[in-house]
Structure formats: C-alpha cells, structure tokens
Amino acid sequence: MESWTYRLEHVRCGKPCKACPHGPYWYGYRKERGKTLKKYFGKEDPRHKESSKEIDKIVLEDPREAIFYEETATKDLAYEILELPFNTTWPEVKEKYQKEREYLMAYPAIDWVAVEYLSAAYHYLKNVLTTSS
Ligand SMILES: [Zn+2]
C-alpha cells in the first residue's frame, strides 16, 4: 500500500506572473527503493479520500501552515498570525486584517505567502467569532 507524507506547498511558475506563488497545493512524498517520490495531489486535501487508510503524516514547513488544516488550526495561532492579543473582538480583528492586507499589498514585490496566512487566519477567526453568539 502507498503511504504518503503530505505537504502543502506554494509554487513559483517561473514566468513573470502576478499570481506567484501559486497554491498552496498538496504534494505527497514517499521513499521507494532509496528514491524519494513526489506526487501532486492538487488543491483539495488528499487525506479526506477514503482510499488512503494508512497513517499519513503532515510536515509543516512553517509553523504558521497549521492554520490551513482543520486538525491543527487554533484560535491562538490565528491571533498570532494577525499579531493580535488572544481576546481581540471580531470588529477589531476585521480592522486589523484589512490594514495588514493593505500594507502587504502596497509593496512592489508582494509576499503572497504572508497574504495567504493572513487571510486563512482571518477566515478561521471569522468562523469562530461570528458563529458562537
Ligand atoms: Zn506564477
């Protein structure tokens, strides 16, 4: 049976491109006869497909990547990414997100990875803070 170690990665296409880096996309890694194989799985979390009954491991390149996974995302991490105290209310979160985003987008070389962490943190908190009341 195949058992992959999954990883979410951002990809640079190498062309002069405004959307770079693309993704994140899922890739799987495994070793076979001493060689490391890499497989592209696309945008959707491949671990939810029922055929993979093996225990799969997630490797995080950056601790902030945990915000992309249902199992590992936490409120504290989301606040950390947004650089806010842990009890900030929703209107303040929204305001901070908009400011941070504007700030990031104002640079000529936009850090798209930072933008993705930011918006993932924002959407996570939106779910948590606006549905509990
Ligand atoms: Zn590109």
CB 124 within 8 A of CB 73: yes
31 and 4 share one domain: yes
68 and 55 share one domain: no
**Ligand 1 centroid, distance to 9 Cα (angstroms):** 14
54 and 107 share one domain: no
133 and 108 share one domain: yes
Residues 6+ apart with CB under 8 A from 102: none
74 and 114 share one domain: yes
Q: What is the pLDDT of residue 49?
A: 66
Q: What is the pLDDT of residue 45?
A: 81
Number of domains, the chain: 2
Q: What is the pLDDT of residue 5?
A: 84
Q: If the chain, 133 residues long, is cut into consecutive pieces of 10 residues, what is the mean pLDDT of each piece?
A: 80 81 86 85 77 60 83 90 93 96 88 89 93 62
44 and 67 share one domain: no
**Ligand 1 centroid, distance to 107 Cα (angstroms):** 17
**Ligand 1 centroid, distance to 16 Cα (angstroms):** 7
130 and 84 share one domain: yes
**DSSP conformation letters of 49-67:** STT--S--EE--SSGGGGG
40 and 67 share one domain: no
CA distance readout (Å), 15 to 20, 58, 95? 9, 29, 34
54 vs 47: CA distance, rounded Å: 10
Q: What is the pLDDT of residue 132?
A: 55
Query: Structure tokens of 79?
Result: 């606040």
Question: Which domain range does residue 43 map to?
Answer: 1-59
50 and 104 share one domain: no
